[in-house]
């Protein structure tokens, strides 16, 4: 079932769904709305984002030319965000009194007329810079989580299914940006070829029907293939094949 990430933690916590994928930010938002208890279990920490393989940040940002330099300077200010409860909890921890307003979108354009500051999600910060906003603190970091209802997690059949899903999701992320490489090489030239090959572990080497030759299979970063393949060819490797990977189970 495809539903908004913002709602997933609530449905899983209430037992409407056994499990789901959502961001750590929305788990935190749900927890802040329920006295700090999320009511869900995290089964897999899946670190990837739209433009990178890192986490995203919810940041506190103010206009570049504003007088605000620290969160404490925002005492009595209005903060616009979609992450209302988690933002309120953040300022409560700091002991700073603010008015947090829900923003339906286009949050970056609201300061300084409609809000004094915003809490907004960012990966690169480019949108904030384009709107002449300056980051003064990070409220929280987030990445995708596979979450489960505690009741589902204690059911053996469901637990096994969920662990298998977690395994395959992690394997798919491990495969991102990597390719498989296989080639043939004469035994006497094997060491010079192996010296060129980075790998997760040592490459797999298998004998061929011709006793003087072996097959080599390994995994490399896709970005290195363009430079590596000509080097392997120069080292007398033959039958070089680069192929995509769907999953790597570590």
- The pLDDT of 47-52, averaged and rounded, is 67
Is residue 199's pLDDT more than 80?
no
- Give which of 171, 148, 170 is closest to 160, Cα–Cα: 148
Helix axis angle, 24-32 relative to 5-13, nearest 10°? 60
pLDDT at residue 36 in the model: 80
Comparing 32-41, 77-86, 161-170, 187-196, the range with the smallest average pLDDT is: 32-41
Among all chains, which residue has been given the structure tokens 């609201």?
Answer: 110
Is residue 53's pLDDT more than 90?
no
pLDDT at residue 55 in the model: 87
| SS3 call for 2 | coil
The two structure tokens encoding residue 152: 């589902």
Is residue 207's pLDDT more than 80?
yes
Q: pTM of the prediction?
A: 0.82
At 161, the pLDDT band (50, 70, 90 cuts) reads very high
Averaged pLDDT of the chain: 93
pLDDT at residue 124 in the model: 85
Is residue 54's pLDDT more than 90?
no
pLDDT at residue 49 in the model: 61
> What is the distance between the alpha carbons of residues 122 and 139, in angstroms, rounded to a whole number?
11
pLDDT tens column, 128-156: 999 999 999 999 999 999 999 999 999 99
pLDDT at residue 200 in the model: 56
Comparing 34-43, 144-153, 232-241, the range with the smallest average pLDDT is: 34-43
pLDDT tens column, 61-111: 999 999 999 999 999 999 999 999 999 999 999 999 999 999 998 999 999
| SS3 call for 189 | helix
At 28, the pLDDT band (50, 70, 90 cuts) reads very high
CA geometry: angle 186, 187, 193, nearest 5 deg: 75
Q: How far is CA 121 from CA 55, 111, 124, 160, 221, in A?
A: 10, 15, 10, 34, 29
């Amino acid at each position: 079932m495809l539903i908004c990430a913002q709602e997933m933690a609530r449905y899983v916590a209430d037992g409407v769904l056994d499990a789901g994928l959502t961001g750590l930010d929305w788990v935190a938002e749900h927890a802040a709305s329920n006295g700090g208890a999320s009511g869900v279990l995290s089964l897999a920490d899946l670190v990837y984002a739209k433009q990178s393989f890192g986490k995203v940040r919810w940041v506190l940002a103010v206009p570049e030319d504003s007088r605000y330099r620290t969160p404490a300077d925002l005492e009595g200010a209005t903060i616009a965000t979609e992450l209302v409860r988690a933002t309120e909890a953040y300022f409560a921890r700091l002991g700073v009194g603010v008015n947090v307003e829900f923003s339906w979108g286009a949050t970056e354009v609201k300061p300084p007329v409609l809000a004094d500051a915003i809490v907004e999600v960012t990966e690169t910060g480019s949108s904030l810079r384009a709107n002449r906003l300056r980051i003064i603190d990070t409220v929280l970091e987030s990445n995708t989580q596979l979450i489960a209802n505690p009741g589902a997690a204690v059911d053996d059949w469901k637990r096994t299914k969920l662990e298998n899903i977690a395994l395959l999701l992690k394997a798919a992320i491990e495969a991102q940006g990597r390719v498989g490489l296989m080639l043939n090489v004469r035994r006497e030239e094997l060491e010079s070829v192996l010296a060129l090959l980075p790998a997760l572990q040592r490459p797999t080497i298998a004998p061929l029907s011709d006793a003087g030759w072996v097959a080599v299979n390994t995994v490399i970063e896709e970005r290195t293939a363009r430079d590596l393949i000509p080097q392997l060819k120069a080292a007398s490797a033959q039958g070089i094949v680069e192929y995509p990977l769907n999953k790597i189970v570590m």
